[in-house]
Amino acid sequence: MAYALDPELAAAIPMIPEQDFSDLPAARLRMKELLASMGGEIDATGVTVREEQVPGPDGAPDVRVLVYTPDRITTPSLLFDVHGGGFIVGDAEMGNEGNIGLARDLGVVVVSVDYRLAPEAPYPSGLEDCYAALVWAAKNAGDLGIDPERIVIHGVSAGGGLCAALALLARDRGGPAIAFQFLGVPEIDDRLETPSMRKFVDTPLWNRPRAEFSWDSYLGPGVRGTEGVPVHAAPGRATDLTGLPPAYISVMEFDPLRDEGIAYAQGLLAAGVTTELHLFPGTFHGSGLMKHATISRREAAEAKAVLARALGAELV
Protein backbone atom coordinates (compact mmCIF):
# COMPACT_ATOMS: atom_id res chain seq x y z
CA MET A 1 0.00 0.00 0.00
CA ALA A 2 1.19 3.51 -0.77
CA TYR A 3 1.36 5.94 2.15
CA ALA A 4 1.60 9.74 2.11
CA LEU A 5 4.86 9.76 4.03
CA ASP A 6 6.90 12.84 4.73
CA PRO A 7 9.20 13.19 1.67
CA GLU A 8 12.40 13.26 3.74
CA LEU A 9 11.37 10.07 5.54
CA ALA A 10 10.22 8.34 2.37
CA ALA A 11 13.60 8.96 0.75
CA ALA A 12 15.37 7.20 3.63
CA ILE A 13 13.21 4.05 3.72
CA PRO A 14 15.29 2.10 1.15
CA MET A 15 18.27 2.44 3.49
CA ILE A 16 16.49 0.70 6.39
CA PRO A 17 17.71 -2.91 6.70
CA GLU A 18 14.99 -5.54 6.68
CA GLN A 19 14.37 -6.96 10.15
CA ASP A 20 13.59 -10.68 10.44
CA PHE A 21 12.48 -11.81 13.90
CA SER A 22 12.32 -15.53 13.08
CA ASP A 23 15.86 -15.86 14.50
CA LEU A 24 15.67 -13.70 17.63
CA PRO A 25 19.34 -13.90 18.70
CA ALA A 26 20.35 -12.75 15.23
CA ALA A 27 17.63 -10.07 15.23
CA ARG A 28 18.85 -8.74 18.57
CA LEU A 29 22.38 -8.49 17.23
CA ARG A 30 21.19 -6.77 14.04
CA MET A 31 19.23 -4.26 16.10
CA LYS A 32 22.34 -3.34 18.11
CA GLU A 33 24.34 -3.00 14.91
CA LEU A 34 21.65 -0.89 13.25
CA LEU A 35 21.42 1.53 16.16
CA ALA A 36 25.19 1.75 16.39
CA SER A 37 25.52 2.51 12.69
CA MET A 38 22.79 5.18 12.79
CA GLY A 39 24.03 6.79 15.99
CA GLY A 40 27.75 6.90 15.35
CA GLU A 41 30.23 7.55 18.14
CA ILE A 42 28.58 8.79 21.33
CA ASP A 43 29.95 11.83 23.13
CA ALA A 44 29.68 11.05 26.84
CA THR A 45 31.39 14.26 27.97
CA GLY A 46 29.98 15.52 31.25
CA VAL A 47 28.20 12.29 32.18
CA THR A 48 29.34 9.32 34.27
CA VAL A 49 27.71 6.00 33.39
CA ARG A 50 27.81 3.09 35.80
CA GLU A 51 26.20 -0.33 35.95
CA GLU A 52 24.32 -1.64 38.97
CA GLN A 53 22.78 -5.02 39.79
CA VAL A 54 19.64 -4.35 41.83
CA PRO A 55 17.32 -6.79 43.64
CA GLY A 56 14.92 -8.42 41.21
CA PRO A 57 11.37 -9.66 41.75
CA ASP A 58 10.84 -12.41 44.30
CA GLY A 59 12.49 -15.59 43.09
CA ALA A 60 13.95 -13.90 40.00
CA PRO A 61 17.49 -12.79 39.12
CA ASP A 62 18.85 -9.37 39.94
CA VAL A 63 18.03 -6.65 37.45
CA ARG A 64 20.78 -4.81 35.64
CA VAL A 65 20.43 -1.04 35.38
CA LEU A 66 22.56 1.74 33.96
CA VAL A 67 22.82 4.96 35.95
CA TYR A 68 23.70 8.18 34.11
CA THR A 69 24.90 10.95 36.43
CA PRO A 70 25.71 14.35 34.93
CA ASP A 71 28.53 16.49 36.26
CA ARG A 72 26.04 19.36 36.50
CA ILE A 73 22.78 18.42 38.25
CA THR A 74 20.04 21.04 38.00
CA THR A 75 17.03 19.09 39.29
CA PRO A 76 16.48 16.44 41.98
CA SER A 77 14.06 14.59 39.69
CA LEU A 78 14.86 11.16 38.25
CA LEU A 79 14.29 10.10 34.66
CA PHE A 80 13.49 6.37 34.66
CA ASP A 81 13.95 5.00 31.14
CA VAL A 82 12.47 1.77 29.74
CA HIS A 83 13.78 0.74 26.33
CA GLY A 84 11.63 -0.40 23.40
CA GLY A 85 11.96 -3.35 21.08
CA GLY A 86 8.57 -5.04 20.88
CA PHE A 87 9.20 -6.82 24.22
CA ILE A 88 11.62 -9.11 22.32
CA VAL A 89 14.76 -7.13 21.40
CA GLY A 90 16.84 -4.33 22.89
CA ASP A 91 18.72 -3.68 26.12
CA ALA A 92 19.57 -0.86 28.50
CA GLU A 93 22.27 0.39 26.14
CA MET A 94 19.65 0.88 23.40
CA GLY A 95 18.99 4.39 24.67
CA ASN A 96 22.62 5.26 25.45
CA GLU A 97 22.92 8.24 23.16
CA GLY A 98 19.57 9.71 24.17
CA ASN A 99 20.05 9.09 27.88
CA ILE A 100 23.52 10.61 27.89
CA GLY A 101 22.18 13.63 26.03
CA LEU A 102 19.23 14.07 28.38
CA ALA A 103 21.38 13.64 31.49
CA ARG A 104 23.86 16.24 30.25
CA ASP A 105 21.44 18.71 28.66
CA LEU A 106 18.80 18.62 31.41
CA GLY A 107 21.13 18.09 34.35
CA VAL A 108 19.15 15.06 35.51
CA VAL A 109 20.06 11.59 36.79
CA VAL A 110 18.81 8.85 34.46
CA VAL A 111 18.26 5.17 35.29
CA SER A 112 17.78 2.74 32.40
CA VAL A 113 16.51 -0.76 33.16
CA ASP A 114 17.67 -3.92 31.38
CA TYR A 115 14.52 -6.01 31.79
CA ARG A 116 14.18 -9.65 30.67
CA LEU A 117 12.92 -10.19 27.14
CA ALA A 118 10.18 -12.37 25.70
CA PRO A 119 9.57 -15.07 24.64
CA GLU A 120 12.22 -16.56 26.95
CA ALA A 121 10.76 -14.49 29.81
CA PRO A 122 7.12 -13.68 28.96
CA TYR A 123 4.76 -11.39 30.88
CA PRO A 124 4.99 -10.47 33.71
CA SER A 125 8.79 -10.91 33.81
CA GLY A 126 9.81 -7.72 32.00
CA LEU A 127 7.27 -5.57 33.82
CA GLU A 128 8.21 -6.99 37.22
CA ASP A 129 11.87 -6.27 36.46
CA CYS A 130 10.94 -2.66 35.69
CA TYR A 131 8.93 -2.41 38.89
CA ALA A 132 11.78 -3.87 40.95
CA ALA A 133 14.19 -1.33 39.45
CA LEU A 134 11.72 1.48 40.15
CA VAL A 135 11.40 0.38 43.79
CA TRP A 136 15.20 0.23 44.07
CA ALA A 137 15.55 3.74 42.66
CA ALA A 138 13.01 5.15 45.11
CA LYS A 139 14.60 3.34 48.09
CA ASN A 140 18.08 4.52 47.10
CA ALA A 141 17.09 8.11 46.40
CA GLY A 142 19.75 9.43 48.76
CA ASP A 143 22.57 7.57 47.02
CA LEU A 144 21.25 8.60 43.61
CA GLY A 145 20.83 12.22 44.70
CA ILE A 146 17.19 12.35 43.67
CA ASP A 147 13.79 13.13 45.19
CA PRO A 148 11.70 9.91 45.25
CA GLU A 149 8.55 11.99 44.82
CA ARG A 150 9.78 13.34 41.48
CA ILE A 151 10.25 10.28 39.31
CA VAL A 152 9.41 10.65 35.61
CA ILE A 153 9.04 7.41 33.63
CA HIS A 154 9.93 7.42 29.96
CA GLY A 155 9.57 4.79 27.26
CA VAL A 156 9.06 4.44 23.53
CA SER A 157 7.12 1.69 21.73
CA ALA A 158 7.13 -1.43 23.94
CA GLY A 159 8.97 0.76 26.45
CA GLY A 160 6.03 3.15 26.35
CA GLY A 161 3.68 0.22 26.90
CA LEU A 162 5.72 -0.98 29.86
CA CYS A 163 5.72 2.54 31.30
CA ALA A 164 1.92 2.72 31.01
CA ALA A 165 1.74 -0.65 32.78
CA LEU A 166 4.28 0.51 35.36
CA ALA A 167 2.12 3.53 36.23
CA LEU A 168 -0.91 1.26 36.68
CA LEU A 169 1.09 -1.23 38.76
CA ALA A 170 2.57 1.44 41.02
CA ARG A 171 -0.91 2.88 41.57
CA ASP A 172 -2.48 -0.49 42.31
CA ARG A 173 0.32 -1.65 44.65
CA GLY A 174 0.74 1.68 46.39
CA GLY A 175 4.29 1.69 45.05
CA PRO A 176 6.76 4.49 44.34
CA ALA A 177 5.34 7.86 43.39
CA ILE A 178 5.45 8.60 39.68
CA ALA A 179 5.22 12.27 38.84
CA PHE A 180 4.81 11.98 35.06
CA GLN A 181 4.62 9.33 32.34
CA PHE A 182 6.11 9.90 28.88
CA LEU A 183 4.59 7.34 26.53
CA GLY A 184 6.16 7.51 23.08
CA VAL A 185 4.19 5.53 20.44
CA PRO A 186 3.12 3.07 23.17
CA GLU A 187 2.36 -0.59 22.47
CA ILE A 188 -0.55 -1.17 24.85
CA ASP A 189 -3.37 -3.24 23.29
CA ASP A 190 -3.06 -6.94 22.46
CA ARG A 191 -6.50 -7.09 20.83
CA LEU A 192 -5.20 -5.51 17.59
CA GLU A 193 -8.68 -4.31 16.63
CA THR A 194 -8.16 -0.59 15.94
CA PRO A 195 -8.55 0.78 12.41
CA SER A 196 -4.85 1.66 12.17
CA MET A 197 -3.83 -1.82 13.31
CA ARG A 198 -6.12 -3.47 10.79
CA LYS A 199 -5.01 -1.18 7.96
CA PHE A 200 -1.24 -0.87 8.34
CA VAL A 201 -0.04 -4.35 7.43
CA ASP A 202 3.08 -3.33 5.49
CA THR A 203 4.25 -0.04 7.00
CA PRO A 204 8.01 0.44 7.57
CA LEU A 205 9.69 -0.92 10.71
CA TRP A 206 6.43 -1.88 12.46
CA ASN A 207 3.19 -3.31 11.10
CA ARG A 208 0.39 -5.68 12.05
CA PRO A 209 2.31 -8.94 11.43
CA ARG A 210 5.11 -7.73 13.69
CA ALA A 211 2.62 -6.64 16.32
CA GLU A 212 1.09 -10.13 16.25
CA PHE A 213 4.52 -11.72 16.72
CA SER A 214 5.37 -9.28 19.50
CA TRP A 215 2.23 -9.98 21.53
CA ASP A 216 2.41 -13.73 20.95
CA SER A 217 5.96 -13.63 22.30
CA TYR A 218 5.05 -11.46 25.30
CA LEU A 219 1.82 -13.19 26.33
CA GLY A 220 2.42 -16.67 24.94
CA PRO A 221 0.90 -18.30 21.85
CA GLY A 222 -2.87 -18.17 21.63
CA VAL A 223 -3.34 -15.64 24.44
CA ARG A 224 -3.56 -12.26 22.69
CA GLY A 225 -7.07 -11.02 22.14
CA THR A 226 -8.61 -13.53 24.55
CA GLU A 227 -10.57 -12.83 27.71
CA GLY A 228 -8.64 -12.37 30.88
CA VAL A 229 -5.49 -10.65 29.62
CA PRO A 230 -4.66 -8.37 32.58
CA VAL A 231 -4.49 -4.61 32.22
CA HIS A 232 -0.92 -4.67 33.54
CA ALA A 233 -0.02 -6.70 30.43
CA ALA A 234 -2.09 -4.59 28.03
CA PRO A 235 -2.91 -1.17 29.52
CA GLY A 236 -5.19 -0.40 26.57
CA ARG A 237 -7.69 -2.76 28.19
CA ALA A 238 -7.84 -0.72 31.41
CA THR A 239 -11.23 0.81 32.23
CA ASP A 240 -10.12 2.58 35.42
CA LEU A 241 -7.42 5.16 34.68
CA THR A 242 -8.12 7.37 37.67
CA GLY A 243 -5.27 8.38 39.93
CA LEU A 244 -2.57 7.98 37.29
CA PRO A 245 0.20 10.55 36.79
CA PRO A 246 -0.02 13.23 34.08
CA ALA A 247 0.99 11.95 30.67
CA TYR A 248 2.43 12.85 27.31
CA ILE A 249 1.58 10.50 24.43
CA SER A 250 2.99 10.67 20.92
CA VAL A 251 1.63 8.80 17.92
CA MET A 252 2.76 8.54 14.31
CA GLU A 253 0.36 8.92 11.39
CA PHE A 254 1.22 5.66 9.60
CA ASP A 255 1.83 3.47 12.63
CA PRO A 256 -0.45 0.53 13.47
CA LEU A 257 -0.14 1.62 17.12
CA ARG A 258 -1.57 5.07 16.31
CA ASP A 259 -5.19 4.54 17.30
CA GLU A 260 -4.54 2.67 20.55
CA GLY A 261 -2.32 5.56 21.67
CA ILE A 262 -5.05 8.08 20.82
CA ALA A 263 -7.65 5.96 22.63
CA TYR A 264 -5.46 5.73 25.72
CA ALA A 265 -5.00 9.50 25.76
CA GLN A 266 -8.76 9.94 25.52
CA GLY A 267 -9.27 7.46 28.35
CA LEU A 268 -6.80 9.30 30.56
CA LEU A 269 -8.50 12.62 29.85
CA ALA A 270 -11.91 11.13 30.61
CA ALA A 271 -10.49 9.92 33.94
CA GLY A 272 -9.35 13.43 34.82
CA VAL A 273 -5.66 12.84 34.12
CA THR A 274 -3.85 15.78 32.55
CA THR A 275 -2.68 14.47 29.18
CA GLU A 276 -0.93 15.91 26.14
CA LEU A 277 -1.32 14.09 22.82
CA HIS A 278 0.66 14.79 19.66
CA LEU A 279 0.24 13.11 16.28
CA PHE A 280 3.20 13.70 13.97
CA PRO A 281 2.08 13.82 10.32
CA GLY A 282 3.69 11.80 7.56
CA THR A 283 5.58 9.64 10.05
CA PHE A 284 5.79 5.92 10.77
CA HIS A 285 6.81 3.86 13.79
CA GLY A 286 10.48 4.52 14.49
CA SER A 287 10.79 7.23 11.86
CA GLY A 288 12.56 9.37 14.45
CA LEU A 289 15.66 7.27 13.75
CA MET A 290 15.96 9.34 10.57
CA LYS A 291 17.33 12.23 12.60
CA HIS A 292 18.05 14.44 9.59
CA ALA A 293 14.36 14.84 8.72
CA THR A 294 12.70 18.07 9.79
CA ILE A 295 9.76 16.23 11.34
CA SER A 296 12.16 14.02 13.33
CA ARG A 297 13.97 17.08 14.65
CA ARG A 298 10.61 18.52 15.71
CA GLU A 299 9.75 15.27 17.47
CA ALA A 300 13.09 15.17 19.32
CA ALA A 301 12.92 18.83 20.34
CA GLU A 302 9.41 18.40 21.68
CA ALA A 303 10.34 15.30 23.65
CA LYS A 304 13.19 17.15 25.33
CA ALA A 305 10.96 20.15 26.08
CA VAL A 306 8.21 17.95 27.55
CA LEU A 307 10.69 16.07 29.72
CA ALA A 308 12.38 19.28 30.87
CA ARG A 309 9.03 20.66 32.01
CA ALA A 310 8.07 17.38 33.75
CA LEU A 311 11.45 17.11 35.47
CA GLY A 312 11.64 20.76 36.46
CA ALA A 313 14.91 20.97 34.61
CA GLU A 314 16.71 23.70 32.70
CA LEU A 315 16.52 23.26 28.93
CA VAL A 316 19.92 24.16 27.47
How far apart CA 163 and CA 29 sit, in angstroms, is 24
Cβ distance 265 to 247 under 8 Å?
yes
DSSP three-state, residue 12: helix
**Catalytic-role residue among 157, 250, 287, 296:** 157
**Catalytic-role residue among 83, 154, 232, 285:** 285
How far apart CA 257 and CA 252 sit, in angstroms, is 8
Active site residue 216: no
How far apart CA 38 and CA 89 sit, in angstroms, is 17
User: HSE on the CB side for 231, CA within 13 Å?
Assistant: 15
Active site residue 83: no
How far apart CA 204 and CA 254 sit, in angstroms, is 9
Kind of pairing between the strands at 63-70 and 47-54: antiparallel
How far apart CA 181 and CA 170 sit, in angstroms, is 12
Q: How many Cβ atoms from other residues are within 10 Å of residue 46's Cβ?
A: 13
Active site residue 285: yes
**Catalytic-role residue among 105, 255, 259, 296:** 255
E strands within the chain?
Answer: 47-54, 63-70, 78-82, 109-114, 151-156, 180-184, 247-254, 275-284
Q: Which residues are catalytic?
A: 157, 255, 285
